[in-house]
Structure 1
Amino acid sequence: METFTPTAALRQQMVTIDEALMALASELAQLPLLEAHVYPLPPVAQGTEHDPIEQIEVGYLSGDAAFTTTLAAYRDHSARAGCSTKATHRLPGWLRFPTEAASRLTPLVTEINQLKQDFKAQVQQAGGRDEKFELVHTALPGVITLQVYRKLTLLSGALYSLGFTWADKQSINRLSREQVLEMLERSRRYIPPLCDNAQWSKMVDQEVYDIRRLPADAQLRIRRPVKTHPMINLLWQDRSPRKQQLKASLPLLLCSDTPPVVTHLGHYPPKSRQARSDRKIGGDPIIERLHLYLYHPE
């Protein structure tokens, strides 16, 4: 592979991943399927990926239909017509096989996840964001990189319960006034499209002025919304820690002779959604493009 160009090497890596996924599908088809459940989500239309999520209608498939849909989702790496390429396609769900199947599936899933990791490493070696985008979309037009990166989850053992839920938290980073000023100075080098150097410099100057006007001990927070996404809460019978939480981007594979108690994924938002007790971060953002707010301690 060392003789390949980066573009050819990435194409070959994708072929190898697809071959490994086909081998997994063949192995799964030979195993006794004890149960299968998936929850298809509506696609995100192109241009709506940044819109606030008010409602998500969740579908449901079981048995052979869920199994077939799972195998297709494992190999689904490409953009769909009319759908956003900035929002990954998710299929929450799970398939259960006998405990003894773990020894047959573990080497295959481990190999697939390593191949995905190697694919990611090849992309990262391309350099900056623009170089990485150019490499992937020259080598594999239409491929959604994050969907290739997503690893498969294989679990085995006595699972007491398996519950699907929705996460829509916010990421909060604490910053000092000086750290924000350093961030603004660095941003001068990255002029966005449709903005000339003079306009950008003037805007950053104003932002620096606004931050310098704050007290030296001002406490600042970057509060970014995290896109609503499905999660799985696991409760094990015989291991510590008993609780485990995973993203539900793809159906997980469970090798267990005992069926767990299941909480199926419902529509979003849940009926019993509780109001947030919102914190001491509020008001209008100081710098909207950074989602930067002033923190008000009691």
Structure 2
Amino acid sequence: MTDIKSLFAQLTANLQQLEKLFSTTKPVQALVSRIPCVIKGQEQAAINQITPELSTDMLAMKLASEAFQDIHIKPPFSQKSARRYVGVIHLHPEHQNTTKIVFLIKAINTLKAEIEHAVVSEHASRQARFSAIHDNCPGVMTVHLYRKIHCLENESVKSVRFSWQRKDSLHQPDKLKLLGEINAEKERAMPDNLLALDQLQQKITSTPELDLRIRRPVKVQPAANIVRATGLKTVTAPLPIIIVQKEMFKASEVMAFTASQVRKQRSDKRKNTLLGTLSGHSIEKVVS
């Protein structure tokens, strides 16, 4: 069995060392925004507005260090909603600390991956994985422990801009399992809801499994649109992104999110037919 406790101790030591290096490293440019945290018990509340709190230069370096070390549960904040720090830090490759920073980030990401692999591959059940994490890494928030630090080294970045993604999760279900879930729901349903469930069941029965989709709403999340010489790369951005290169590039802070500002759908986006809803999720049929 992998010694997860030892890996976690190494990770913690590396994160502390990274903080020391950041405190004495002057960036070429740095923009990091703290996203307001979700309070425990408010996870399902509608998100209508998000107002980031921007830090720049050395304050941004300090906030980035805090972000990378933020791997533990923090009351009164939710354990189900990740705390996010969105931004970019541009380091010059010839700064005396840059090589050490890049080395440490690679080591940190490797340790995170080793811990995740050990937990997932060596513990079959969800409960066993929970115990493996919390026995060896006391007080950690798993989603924070696993998330990697993006570091782009000499990739000729031209610009880094942030946006808010509001994508839904869409997947093809097991048709028999889905019909079974409807039967279970019918047994619990009030008489007024039975007709809608019967109609949904009939529609699903007559739809080929390959054409069925379940759409689940996904919480809005920040994304970085990175333009490089080789093209555009879009990544989720819950942590500051490190860019190491000599050339300057355009960087913009993440702006406020307002739910009422609905983005126009792409004209080429496939439109599915809504068959009905089940447990708050949309059941759809693919339109050829």
Q: TM-score range by the shorter chain?
A: 0.7 to 0.9
Residue 46 of structure 1 and its aligned partner are, at CA, apart by: 0.6
Q: In the alignment, what sits opposite 1:172?
A: 170
Q: In the alignment, what sits opposite 2:86?
A: 92
274 and 18 in structure 1: CA distance in 2 versus 1, 3 angstrom threshold:
same
Aligned pairs (5 A) from 1:94-109: 94-101=88-95, 103-109=99-105
| Matched residue type, 2:147 | R
How does the TM-score come out when normalised to structure 1? 0.79
Unaligned runs of 5+ in 2: none
Distance 1:116 1:245 in 2: 22
Percent same amino acid among aligned pairs?
A: 21
| Matched residue type, 2:47 | I
Aligned pairs (5 A) from 1:180-219: 180-182=175-177, 202=187, 211=201, 214-215=205-206, 217=208, 219=211
Match of 1:120 among 116, 128, 131: 116
Aligned pairs (5 A) from 1:12-161: 12-101=6-95, 103-124=99-120, 125-157=122-154, 158-161=156-159
Once the two structures are superposed, what CA deviation does each residue of 1:147-185 show, in whole Å capped at 9, x if it has no partner? 01011111123321110110011121134xxx3214666
How does the TM-score come out when normalised to structure 2? 0.82
Aligned pairs (5 A) from 1:255-274: 255-269=244-258, 273-274=262-263
Q: In the alignment, what sits opposite 1:234?
A: 226
Residue 53 of structure 1 and its aligned partner are, at CA, apart by: 1.6
Distance 2:283 2:186 in 1: 22
Residue 126 of structure 1 and its aligned partner are, at CA, apart by: 2.0
Compare the two structures and name the one with the higher strand fraction.
2
Q: Is the 8 A contact 1:220 1:292 kept in 2?
A: no
Unaligned runs of 5+ in 1: 188-198
Q: Is the 8 A contact 1:230 1:248 kept in 2?
A: yes
Q: In the alignment, what sits opposite 2:217?
A: 225
Equivalenced residue count is 272
Residue 117 of structure 1 and its aligned partner are, at CA, apart by: 0.5
Q: Is the 8 A contact 1:78 1:143 kept in 2?
A: yes
Q: Is the 8 A contact 2:276 2:282 kept in 1?
A: no
22 and 272 in structure 1: CA distance in 2 versus 1, 3 angstrom threshold:
same
